[in-house]
Amino acid sequence: MYFGEFFSDKLTTLQVKHSLRRFYFSRKFQPELVFITRHAWGDLKNPEDHLGVDFNTLDEFYSETGLELNRILFGFGLSVAYRYGFYYLPDFEDNISFKFTFKLKI
């Protein structure tokens, strides 16, 4: 999902993560693989009040699925996800997102 792509005043999300046991390469290097799926649905009560701003609302079901590789180095990791469903974009590469993750253990 692009930053500022969707606006809603009512929003419901579902995020499911399944973590596998951490890989043991050494005492300090133990990355964690996580399968993720995210869904969102929302609505905006009065979109006509927002003149001059182009945006979408989540009046259809937004879906993305992907992988996270967490705790690669100092709590940092990487995430890749693929957008599908109603908000699928025509170009394949526009549906793939790469993100940095950070896990802080207190």
pLDDT in tens, 1-59: 566 678 788 889 999 999 999 999 888 889 999 999 999 998 888 777 777 777 778 88
Buried b (16+ CB within 10 A) or exposed e, 26-44: eeeeebbebebebbbbbeb
DSSP letter assigned to residue 93: G
pTM of the model: 0.79
**C-alpha to C-alpha distance for 39 and 61, rounded to whole angstroms:** 7
